[in-house]
């Protein structure tokens, strides 16, 4: 992968924060005022691909339609320096995937706030008519006090309306295998309940240290989402409450109709149960 220059238009790159298949995420200083920002830059090898610019523009459109403290803010898309990039709010904290790798026990004291703020973020996304489609620990940044920012809405899609559901509208099966609901795997119409399933996968991982389904290949994992029973969280974390075990069974139901109908319903249940027997 070709190396990025230190300066991209008015942006001075400071340190790399993350990397994806076609993009890198950097902390940068913007303009003469050296304002701290994050920047999502298409790597030089893919800079001429119009599909990458299209994804950045789409993510900007989605983020500009949102306004909530738990969702990352976006500034602009630019081609300065010949590298398409999206300038974002800087929230200098590790994603949940990295934090889970350090042990779920360390997350316990702030777990309730983390998942509640995740649910608030997704409720806002859904209220504005979007489905995230890629809810996973990698796409949630979390501070030491549990404050979160939902990121990476590049493949967000409009929620299927009633007509789309009646007609059986389909969408391309994009997303991350470990967190995809059965209807997304099948390329069927998606709504808030699809993100609710993925939210359930993240909650499971925050408690267990691993996603609900694990297998050597992506296809095997996808098949497990479609047909395998929901695993018991208590097999991985004896500190998980009976209430959260039942809650996870609802979130991870194979049929969307068997899941909570909205993130507001998820929030109501979250606020009425304890996730862990002991916090430390």
pLDDT in tens, 33-77: 999 999 999 999 999 999 999 999 999 999 999 999 999 999 999
SS3 at position 35: strand
Task: Say if CB 22 and CB 47 are below 8 A apart.
Answer: no
The torsion angles phi and psi of 85, rounded to 5 degrees, stand at -155, 155
Q: 123, 134, 138, 152: which one is catalytic?
A: 134
pLDDT for the residue numbered 20: 82
For 96-270, CATH gives: 1.10.510.10
The class level of CATH for 7-88 reads alpha beta
pLDDT for the residue numbered 2: 65
Does 162 score more than 50 pLDDT?
no
Cβ contacts of 130 within 8 Å, gap of 6 or more: 62, 65, 66, 153, 156, 157, 158, 159
**CA 247/CA 72 separation, integer angstroms:** 28
pLDDT for the residue numbered 245: 98
**CA 241/CA 237 separation, integer angstroms:** 9
Give the CA radius of gyration of the chain. 19
Domain boundaries, the chain: 7-88, 96-270
Question: What is the pTM assigned to this prediction?
Answer: 0.93
Q: Is 192 exposed, middle or buried (0-12, 13-18, 19+ CB in 10 A)?
A: buried
Does 81 score more than 70 pLDDT?
yes
Beta bridge partners of 170: 188
Q: Is 67 a catalytic residue?
A: no
Structure tokens at 248: 């996870």
Find, among 179, 88, 94, 100, the residue nearest to 133 by Cα. 179
pLDDT for the residue numbered 166: 42
Angstrom CA distances, 25 to 5, 36, 73, 212, 245, stand at: 13, 13, 15, 28, 36
Q: Is 271 exposed, middle or buried (0-12, 13-18, 19+ CB in 10 A)?
A: exposed
**CA 232/CA 165 separation, integer angstroms:** 31
Question: What is the mean pLDDT of the segment spanning 8-18?
Answer: 95
Which tens digits make up the pLDDT trace of 91-145? 999 999 999 999 999 999 999 999 999 999 999 999 999 999 999 999 999 999 9
Which tens digits make up the pLDDT trace of 210-259? 999 999 999 999 999 999 999 999 999 999 999 999 999 999 999 999 99
Angstrom CA distances, 207 to 70, 110, 180, 226, 275, stand at: 21, 12, 18, 22, 9
pLDDT for the residue numbered 172: 58
Does 163 score more than 90 pLDDT?
no
């Amino acid at each position: 992968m070709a190396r990025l220059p230190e300066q991209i238009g008015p942006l001075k790159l400071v340190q790399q924060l993350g990397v994806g298949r076609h993009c890198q995420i950097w902390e940068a200083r913007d303009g003469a005022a050296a304002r701290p920002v994050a920047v999502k830059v298409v790597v030089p090898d893919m800079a001429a691909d119009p599909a990458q610019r299209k994804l950045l523009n789409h993510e900007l459109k989605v983020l500009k339609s949102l306004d909530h403290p738990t969702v990352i803010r976006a500034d602009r898309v630019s081609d300065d320096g010949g590298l398409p990039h999206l300038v974002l709010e800087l929230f200098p904290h590790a994603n949940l995937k990295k934090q889970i790798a350090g042990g779920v026990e360390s997350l316990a004291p702030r777990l309730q706030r983390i998942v509640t703020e995740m649910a608030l973020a997704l409720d806002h996304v859904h209220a504005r008519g979007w489905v995230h489609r890629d809810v996973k620990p990698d796409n949630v940044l979390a501070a030491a006090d549990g404050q979160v920012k939902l990121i990476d809405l590049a493949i967000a899609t409009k929620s299927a309306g009633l007509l789309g559901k009646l007609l059986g509208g389909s969408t391309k099966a994009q997303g991350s295998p470990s967190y995809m609901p059965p209807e997304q795997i099948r390329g069927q119409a998606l709504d808030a309940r699809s993100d609710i399933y993925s939210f359930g996968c993240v909650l499971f991982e925050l408690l267990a240290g691993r996603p609900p389904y694990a297998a050597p290949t992506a296809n095997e994992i996808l098949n497990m989402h479609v047909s395998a029973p929901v695993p018991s969280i208590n097999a991985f974390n004896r500190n998980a409450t009976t209430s959260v075990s039942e809650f996870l069974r609802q979130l991870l139901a194979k049929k969307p109709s068997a899941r909570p109908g909205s993130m507001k319903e998820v929030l109501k249940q979250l606020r009425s149960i304890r996730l862990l027997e002991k916090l430390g």
